[in-house]
Amino acid sequence: MSRSGFVALAGRPNVGKSTLLNRLVGEKVAIVSNRPQTTRRAIRGVATHDDWQMVLVDLPGAQRPRDALTARMQARLERELAESDTALLVLGGDQGVGPGDRFIAAAIARAGLRATVAVNKVDVLDHGRTAAALQGAASLPLDAEIFPVSARTGAGVPELVDELVGLLPEGPFLYTPGERTDLPARVRVAELIREQVLARTRDELPHAVEVEVDEIEEREDGLMLVAARVWAETESQKGILIGAGGRMVRDVGASARRQIEALLGRRVHLDLSVRVRKGWRRDDALLDRLGIE
């Protein structure tokens, strides 16, 4: 009998959840950045073996809601926990256990889920700091097995997978083998563009930026035309995103285009523009259109 089910991947911002998701799935389905609050949508990645299938849901980093955007992110975290079969709490081994980790552990416990804890980034820790990180994980209010792992190198991940598979219920596969995510192509393309913005901007600007893909169309010669807009909240932010002589938006577009071509398996022409929409993070209509539930 096969096993299959949903695993809620939860953790504080910037602990490496998205990197771990990509490692488990074996393909880049979530963008990666050292900026906190990179994940805004619940991103599902599907990992399939001969007799098991895990549907991993990379949840937004837990936080106190500040606006419509972060309120939606927090509500999505709680809803996905309630609908999952088990939970994987990811801790940043280089950060130490803090109030945010305890908040998430308590949310998992309230949901009644059996859980596993992964202490990530042990590849950058010495023996003493690893031991301290594991001890901190053991102090959380969860009855869970704890695994030291490195999402970057893959160390400890096979043992973690074995534990998670054992917690899945018996049942048929939920997705066709070979399917790695249920994110629509437009959302994946938008996220790849946003990843390049995150890599090139500082301070509050990453939080004020979102990307919307208007069109993906194939020409007769096989070239894929992608039209996308980068939303900013102020004219000054727009100026930063465009850059002197348009250099920033060109660099973002060139790097994103290579990523999009790898995703779509086609040559791509990317038409990228920068627009201003004041207060978009509080604009429910735009958040709906962007697919941030």
**What are the pLDDT digits (tens) for 262-272?**
999 999 999 99
Q: What pLDDT shows up at residue 279?
A: 74
Distances from the Cα of 4 to the Cα of 49, 157, 255, angstroms: 10, 18, 36
Cβ pair 9, 22 in contact under 8 A: no
All domains of the chain, ordered by start, with CATH? Answer: 3-167 (3.40.50.300), 185-289 (3.30.300.20)
Q: Residue 94's closest CA among 150, 46, 146?
A: 150
Alpha helices in the chain (DSSP H): 17-25, 68-83, 99-110, 127-138, 157-167, 185-200, 235-242, 247-264, 284-289
The residue with greater pLDDT, 35 or 176, is 176
- pLDDT for 80 equals 78
Rounded mean pLDDT of 189-193? 93
Pairing of strands 3-11, 86-92: parallel
Task: Name the DSSP class of 177.
Answer: T
Model confidence at 225: pLDDT above 90: yes
| Residue 35 binned pLDDT confidence (cut-offs 50, 70, 90) | low
Q: What is the pLDDT of residue 14?
A: 82
* Whole-Å CA distances, 109 to 78, 114, 141, 199, 251: 12, 8, 8, 35, 45
Distance from C-alpha of 5 to C-alpha of 263, rounded to nearest angstrom:
26
Is the Cα torsion angle 187, 119, 89, 282 positive or negative in sign? negative
Contact 201, 209 (CB under 8 A): yes
User: Any alpha helices (H) in 84-233, and if so which ranges?
Assistant: 99-110, 127-138, 157-167, 185-200
Summary mean pLDDT of the chain:
88
How confident is the model at residue 206, as a pLDDT?
Answer: 61
Q: What is the pLDDT of residue 169?
A: 97
263 near 189, Cβ under 8 Å? yes
